[in-house]
């Protein structure tokens, strides 16, 4: 499938999706988000793929929603099209793990896109921010909700109210990103993490993802029960038997996703 705003490559069991609108610092317009939804769906349906990496350029992961596309829209336009509601749905539906590899600007919708992924690996030049306040709007793809859960109310509120950017070190300290790596090594590190995940049982990685994501949706008591029952149910799989026997026999496990 040919895309105009993305470059998609599959390496072993990893689909790499590169946002590619360099003239606009990868600003997210309807075309890019529509193509991203298609590329994600294709990765989800491709039996060979076991992990997805989304990245941008060295200068920008994405500098936000496309301001040129939005500037003249009315409330009715935005509301009736449920602007960005349907386009972002596919990312939320992904059962395969999705990593964001972020270099440069991840602002507004760019920061929100990164936060919708399962975890973020940041280059040391990464800058995160929710500067929508400077445009007379609020975040629209989850920024006020997700950033607050990641970094806490005080920092999230400050960032949304002032529009200031957070550098990579602060993002790591605050729990927004899993780790920071030198910009030149970003793609090697992100692809290595993705390959490592792809070596596991896909069945188990999907189960992990469901359990961790439930921690946002459920009370602790319900979440603990959900996790325990999931843990129990994995004893019905061949991969549990293979994983545990491989450990006892001091050999590498050969997972088959069954
Ligand atoms: N939308 C559309 N075009 C954008 C853009 C955006 N979000 N961000 C950058 N661009 C374009 C610029 O207009 C410029 O295009 P031209 O050359 O045609 O003028 C090109 O990308 C390069 O940008 P700059 O010249 O501004 O580059 P810079 O290095 O001087 O500054 C920047 C970089 C600080 C990221 C600056 O571009 C900027 O502040 N961008 C806007 C960031 C922003 O406000 N994001 C939030 C958008 S709203 C949103 O995302 C809502 C939501 O939650 C859904």
Domain assignments of the chain as residue spans, ordered by start? 6-198, 201-249
What's the chain's average pLDDT? 96
Nearest CA to ligand 1 atom 10: 24
Distance from the first to the final alpha carbon of the chain: 29
CB count within 10 Å of CB 41 equals 13
Q: How far is the CA of 199 from the centre of ligand 1 (A)?
A: 38
Nearest CA to ligand 1 atom 14: 24
Residue positions annotated with a catalytic role: 65, 109, 112, 132
Query: For the chain, what percentages of helix, strand and coil (3-state, to nearest 5) are there?
Result: 55, 15, 30
Q: How confident is the model at residue 112 (pLDDT cuts 50, 70, 90)?
A: very high
CATH number assigned to the domain covering 201-249: 1.10.12.10
CB count within 10 Å of CB 212 equals 13
Note the Cα 239 to chain centre separation in Å. 26
In this prediction, residues 65-84 reach a mean pLDDT of 94
In this predicted model, what pLDDT tens digit does every residue of 22-62 receive, in sequence order?
999 999 999 999 999 999 999 999 999 999 999 999 999 99
In this structure, whether the domain defined by 6-198 belongs to CATH 2.60.40.1240 is answered with no
Residue 252 has pLDDT above 90, yes or no: yes
Q: Is the CB of 133 under 6 A from ligand 1?
A: no
Measured distance CA(16)–CA(192) in Å, rounded: 12
Is the ipTM higher than 0.95? The answer is yes
pLDDT at 1: 76
pLDDT at 87: 86
In this predicted model, what pLDDT tens digit does every residue of 51-69 receive, in sequence order?
999 999 999 999 999 999 9
Residue in 33, 64, 156 to alter for ligand 1 test, most ligand atoms within 8 A of Cβ: 64
pLDDT at 179: 98
Measured distance CA(6)–CA(2) in Å, rounded: 9
Residue 86 has pLDDT above 90, yes or no: no
Closest alpha carbon to 54 in 148, 212, 186: 186
Locate the ligand 1 atom nearest the alpha carbon of residue 112 and give its number. 53
CB count within 10 Å of CB 107 equals 25
Q: Is the CB of 64 under 6 A from ligand 1?
A: yes
Contact 234, 243 (CB under 8 A): no
Q: How far is the CA of 29 from the centre of ligand 1 (A)?
A: 12
In this predicted model, what pLDDT tens digit does every residue of 143-159 receive, in sequence order?
999 999 999 999 999 99
Q: How far is the CA of 256 from the centre of ligand 1 (A)?
A: 45
DSSP, res 18: E
In this prediction, residues 121-145 reach a mean pLDDT of 97
Residue 249 main-chain phi, psi, to 5 deg: -90, 5
Closest alpha carbon to 45 in 90, 101, 7: 90
pLDDT at 201: 96
* pTM for the model: 0.96
Closest alpha carbon to 45 in 2, 95, 99, 100: 95
Measured distance CA(77)–CA(155) in Å, rounded: 32
Note the Cα 151 to chain centre separation in Å. 16
């Amino acid at each position: 499938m040919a895309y105009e705003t993305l470059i998609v490559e599959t390496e072993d069991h990893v689909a790499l999706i590169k946002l590619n609108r360099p003239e606009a610092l990868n600003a997210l317009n309807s075309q890019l988000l529509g193509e991203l939804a298609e590329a994600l769906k294709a990765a989800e349906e491709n039996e060979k793929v076991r992990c997805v990496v989304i990245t941008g350029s060295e200068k920008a992961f994405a500098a936000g929603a496309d301001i040129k596309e939005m500037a003249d829209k009315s409330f009715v336009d935005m509301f009736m099209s449920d602007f960005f509601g349907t386009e972002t749905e596919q990312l939320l539906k992904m059962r395969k793990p999705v990593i964001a590899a972020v270099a440069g600007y991840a602002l507004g919708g760019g920061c929100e896109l990164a936060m919708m992924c399962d975890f973020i690996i940041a280059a040391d030049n990464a800058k995160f921010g929710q500067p929508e306040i400077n445009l007379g709007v609020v975040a629209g793809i989850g920024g006020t909700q997700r950033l607050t859960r990641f970094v806490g109310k005080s920092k999230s509120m400050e960032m949304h109210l002032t529009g200031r950017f957070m550098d990579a070190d602060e993002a790591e300290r605050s729990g927004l990103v899993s780790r920071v790596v030198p910009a030149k090594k970003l793609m090697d590190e992100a692809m290595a993490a993705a390959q490592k995940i792809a070596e596991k049982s896909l069945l188990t990685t999907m189960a992990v993802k469901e359990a961790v994501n439930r921690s946002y949706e459920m009370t602790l008591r319900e979440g603990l029960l959900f996790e325990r029952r999931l843990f129990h149910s994995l004893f019905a799989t061949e991969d549990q038997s293979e994983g545990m026997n491989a450990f006892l026999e001091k050999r590498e496990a050969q997972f088959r996703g069954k």
